[in-house]
Amino acid sequence: MQSVTKIFRTLPLSILAFVFLFAFLQLHCQLFSDKTTEIQKLALQPKEGQKIAAFAEGCFWCSEHIFESIPGVTEVISGYAGGHTKNPNYELVNTETTGHAETVLVYYDPSKIDYAELCRIFFLSHDPTTFNRQGPDEGSSYRSILFYSSDLELKIAKSIQKEIEKKQIWKNPIVTEYQELKEFYQAELYHQNFIKSNPNQSYVQAVSIPRYQEFQSRYNLYRKSKNGLK
């Protein structure tokens, strides 16, 4: 049997070039297949025994990491909501023309954490006083939005905003939008669990991790100061 090396040596250059080009394209597709995955519009139906909530508060890498750390939260998905364009992708949303904001869809167990507490976490895990901006990220896709699914959730969310304002956590007025949750598009696969998968990435190290640590400190202090208020 001829060796692989001998076989390649006997092939015409044109065929060899085709073989190497095909191999390169196959490798390229494998490396970037996650980035070209079609956006998914998710059904807003949680599993039995769970509920859902959605929040936009800047970079969804940061938000996902924060909400995943909360006891009672079972799953967090990064995606897009609050816009008018069908099937938005990351590049399109970043043009600031689709109306969408980077959003996290939070699945939670209501026997372990309630919607009010998730709203507190929302208001404490980002600066809700900055218009179309969160940290170094600017644009409407980074604006603060609290999504609700019922009149009761809207009432609860607004009561928590008043509670936060009374505590004077933030010096400036809160500019958070309130929107009914109508559609949620799951972002590309490479955005999911980004911090866990890319702990040494420069943005993660410079922005995401410090923001998470600030939230932890702020949230712990707030829980101590509110004396059981819910």
Give residues with Cβ within 8 angstroms of 133, minimum separation 6. 139, 142, 143
pLDDT of residue 2: 40
**189 near 37, Cβ under 8 Å?**
yes
- Count of Cβ atoms closer than 10 Å to residue 13 Cβ: 7
pLDDT of residue 24: 35
Q: How confident is the model over 9-28, as pLDDT tens digits?
A: 444 544 444 434 334 333 33
Give the side-chain half-sphere CA count within 13 A for 142. 19
pLDDT of residue 218: 97
Please say if 119 is a catalytic residue: no
Mean pLDDT of 51-78: 98
Give Dmax (Cα) for the chain: 82
DSSP 188: P
CA 196, 104, 56, 141 torsion: positive or negative?
Answer: positive
pLDDT of residue 227: 62
Could you give the domains of the chain? 55-227 (3.30.1060.10)
Q: How confident is the model over 151-189, as pLDDT tens digits?
A: 999 999 999 999 999 999 999 999 999 999 999 999 999
H or E element that contains 26 = helix 13-32
- Position 198 pLDDT exceeds 50: yes
Nearest to 51 by CA among 152, 200, 193: 152
Mean pLDDT of the chain: 87
